[in-house]
């Protein structure tokens, strides 16, 4: 049983550590997608900088969150969970990309599970 828990912790830790780092790095290259498309026109108009620059800042935050998962898994997982919920809420309120919002909420549940696995009461 212990080895199964260790395996699950490891898989979740690498998933929630690497995915934000990769997505964050891609904010600088747009190889996976054009990240600017996820910034609504109304929000973009309120920004004091270009949408691309804003997404690069988002990328830095995501990279830091991913690294935090590796260094302090419980805290990092909670940061990633919160970040995913925030992204989902922005998408829901924009009325676009609801499918991505649902996916991000499901991913947030996985990040919450990772945080719980690193809680003292989980051992």
Residue range 31-66, pLDDT digits in tens = 999 998 888 888 888 889 998 899 999 999 999 999
What integer pLDDT is reported at residue 45 of this predicted model? 87
Q: What is the pLDDT at residue 23?
A: 97
Handedness of CA 19, 40, 52, 33 (dihedral sign): positive
* Calpha distance 11→17 (Å, rounded): 10
Tokens coding 16 = 């929630």
Q: Tell me 33's DSSP state.
A: -
Beta-carbon contacts of residue 109 (< 8 Å; ≥ 6 apart): none
With a cut of 50, list the residues of the chain below it in pLDDT. none
């Amino acid at each position: 049983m212990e080895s199964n828990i260790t395996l699950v912790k490891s898989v979740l830790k690498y998933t929630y550590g690497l995915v934000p780092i990769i997505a964050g790095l891609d904010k600088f290259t747009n190889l996976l997608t054009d990240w600017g498309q996820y910034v609504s026109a109304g929000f973009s108009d309120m920004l004091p900088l270009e949408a691309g620059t804003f997404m690069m800042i988002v990328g830095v935050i995501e990279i830091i969150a991913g690294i935090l998962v590796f260094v302090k898994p419980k805290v990092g997982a909670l940061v990633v969970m919160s970040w995913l919920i925030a992204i989902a809420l922005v998408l829901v309120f924009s009325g676009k990309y609801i499918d991505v919002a649902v996916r991000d909420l499901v991913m947030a549940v996985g990040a919450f599970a990772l945080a719980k696995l690193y809680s003292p009461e989980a051992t």
